[in-house]
Amino acid sequence: MANTSAIQPENGAEIPEPAPEPLTFERATSETVDRIGAWSDTLIELLPNILVAIAVIVVFALLGRLVGSLTHRALSRVAQNDQLATLADVALRLGVMSIGIFIALGLLDLDKALTSLLAGVGIVGLALGFAFQDIAANFMSGTIMAVRQPFQLGDLVETHGFMGTVERVTLRATVIRLFTGQETILPNKDVLQNPITNYTQTGERRVDIDLGVAYDADLATARDVAIEAIEALEYRDASRDVEFYYKGFGDSAIDLSVRFWIDLRSDASSYLVARSRGIEAIKRAFESADLEIPFPIRTLELGASARGSLEALAAPADGSDHTG
């Protein structure tokens, strides 16, 4: 095939190519019309696929709405957390819709472009995941807590060193109102990773009162008096017996423990009131029965030099005791 890019004469000099024809209005109009015509032909050829792709997107959009609504209802009954149900609803709708868009683009031979786009989105999502891993961990912990339900609103709980009533639970944090009135916001990750004590879930709690009785007291009488005093309390669960145990020989008294149960379903803070009333009742009953709750007694052992110093201080000075 002959080379048409340049003409080589006999003397070896290269003759440059002829300059392109200048772009005129008629030529530009002709090329534009040709391109529009080609696009129109392509559009007409792809029109059936476009209609099918639109139909696929509409069907998957309706399917996503149906699946999201069913999931929202199911989670609202199981987890009883509207935020979790709404999050799952939106996630499923977007997921089903994304599948429909991917299929539609495949019908239009644009799946390769979508694959490249998804790869870029995946890289960006990975970077954002590392940047916001604490926030993601809190959301995941909130989701697990919403499903497991370790406590409900209004429950008296103790976790991560805080004790109070659960005020609000979101997917990111748990709000606890302390007995002192302050609200403490705990990230769900910290709540889930630490032990949780729920004092309301069982509906009952045991009250322990520890005290001591004098060594010369009648132990059987002390036991009967303490049990009778606690049995008269209105806060006590009458279906369970009062428990009484002697625990050991203390420094100044015989140590004992009185235990009784209360119902927390009506008032989560009744534990403090019941314990206070129990202490008052035992104190009055022991005083009426002439039972002594001894003060702490300490015995001090002094050396010979210390005893001599005390005796010198206690002895009257010479001539200080003369009368007359």
State the architecture of 40-131 in CATH terms: Orthogonal Bundle (1.10)
Instruction: Lowest mean pLDDT of 116-130, 203-217, 278-292, name the range.
Output: 116-130
Task: Supply the DSSP symbol for 322.
Answer: -
Are 251 and 297 spatial neighbours (Cβ–Cβ below 8 Å)? yes
Cβ neighbours around 217 below 10 Å, total: 20
Tell me how far apart the alpha carbons of residues 237 and 261 are, in angstroms, rounded to a whole number.
5
Strand order in the sheet with 243-249: 204-213, 254-263, 243-249
Could you tell me the residue ranges of all domains in the chain?
40-131, 150-198, 204-288
Decide if domain 204-288 falls under CATH 3.30.70.100. Answer: yes
Instruction: Lowest mean pLDDT of 122-126, 236-240, 317-321, name the range.
Output: 317-321
| Average of per-residue pLDDT values in the chain | 80
Q: State which amino acid sits at residue 226.
A: A
Q: How confident is the model at residue 221 (pLDDT cuts 50, 70, 90)?
A: very high
Instruction: Lowest mean pLDDT of 32-41, 115-124, 302-311, name the range.
Output: 302-311
> What is the dotted CATH code of the domain comprising 150-198?
2.30.30.60
Task: Supply the DSSP symbol for 79.
Answer: T
Tell me how far apart the alpha carbons of residues 64 and 89 are, in angstroms, rounded to a whole number.
9
Q: How confident is the model at residue 1 (pLDDT cuts 50, 70, 90)?
A: very low
Q: Would you state the torsion angle of the CA atoms of residues 53, 59, 60, 62, taken in this order, to the nearest 10 degrees?
A: 150
Domain 150-198 shares a fold with domain 204-288? no
Tell me how far apart the alpha carbons of residues 92 and 86 are, in angstroms, rounded to a whole number.
10
CA-wise closest residue to 84 among 38, 141, 124: 141
Does the pLDDT of residue 270 top 70, yes or no?
yes
CA-wise closest residue to 256 among 230, 226, 295: 226
